[in-house]
Amino acid sequence: MTVREAINMFIHYLQMNHKNKTIDNYKFLLDRFETAFADCAVDSVSTEEIFQFLEEMTKSLAKTTRRLRYAQLKAFYNFIIVRCSFAIKNPCDASLLKKSFRTPRQAFRKILEKEIVDEMIYKTHRLRDRLILELQARCALRIGELLNIRASDISERTITLRTPKSVRDTELAYMPENISKKLKEYIDSERLQPEDRVFPICYSTARAMIKRLGAKLNVRVAPHDLRRYSATYASRNGVPLEVVSKVILRHQDLKTTQVYLGRISDVEAIRWMDVLHSR
């Protein structure tokens, strides 16, 4: 199989499973890779040739972009090796490339404490603002998804997300009963029509509101911190990781979910060992 044939197969896979923005991002790289190696056998391109190609293509780019291009080419080779059952090692896995395009160690973000989140919510008297906090902290909605919700998207215990981050046409987010009731009361009190946005404010306004409420408690809070808290709270209360990932966060990959979960302290680790083995 030539590099051109492999790229065509990979692009077809992307078109079936990913959004146009992702496809265009890969094509930018793969069009240039095809120009360089089009008629070569896909398993004949050496690690050194790939290194030279990436160095030349990304030499004037930011480190994050350089790492992205490397990761994309690595994903391309992983796909082809698995799809075509090639008995070869991914040439992008060589130490030369891994060291040159190394990703910095992921820094775990500090997860908000339950008491802080609860106090933020309970001290927020405006129903609109309180619902925004609860839908993020209890239902793990992204702030962009939340601000695009229309009244007609609200059902008994679910919210239909029309433009989710995934490639799906729609996704469902789930609500506890108490939030569902408050949301319905809010929609009725505001006399919203089916196509009216439930929260007709912009991202910067929502972000400033959340930051201001956190500052009252001497805590720095961004909208995504509330979504991250929702995942960690669910995980540490015994919800299976698959449910946290696929239902609460609506991630496609468990690895993405694991980045969201906070680091476990020694005290908490000991507490869980006691819970697990002291029955």
Q: Which residues pair with 161 in a beta bridge?
A: 171
Residue ranges of domains in the chain, CATH in brackets: 3-100 (1.10.150), 114-274 (1.10.443.10)
pLDDT of 241? 85
> How far is CA 27 from each of CA 1, 11, 23, 43, 49, rounded to the nearest angstrom?
19, 8, 6, 20, 19
pLDDT for residue 207:
96
Q: Which residues of the chain, if any, have pLDDT below 70?
A: 104-109, 166-167, 260, 262-273, 275-279
Yes or no: say if 43 and 88 are a contact pair by the CB < 8 Å rule: yes
Angle subtended at Cα 259 by Cα 78 and Cα 21, rounded to the nearest 5 degrees: 55
Tokens of 67: 């790492």
Cβ neighbors of 176 (< 8 A, separation 6 or more) are: 138, 139
- C-alpha distances out from residue 77 to 41, 135, 211, Å: 12, 40, 43
Q: How buried is residue 79: exposed, middle or buried, by Cβ count under 10 Å (0-12/13-18/19+)?
A: middle
In the block, residue with structure tokens 């906090």: 133
- Give the separation between CA 247 and CA 152, rounded to whole angstroms: 21
For residues 52 and 279, what is the distance between their CA atoms, to the nearest angstrom? Answer: 59
Give the model's pLDDT for residue 24.
Answer: 93
CB contact at 8 A, 235 and 244 = yes
81-114 exposure pattern, b = at least 16 Cβ within 10 A, e = fewer: beeeeeeeebbbebeebeeebeeeeeeeeebbee
Beta strand spans in 131-170 (E): 158-161
What is the C-alpha to C-alpha distance for residues 185 and 235, in angstroms, rounded to an integer?
Answer: 30
Cα radius of gyration rounded to whole Å, the chain: 23
Q: What is the pLDDT at residue 180?
A: 94
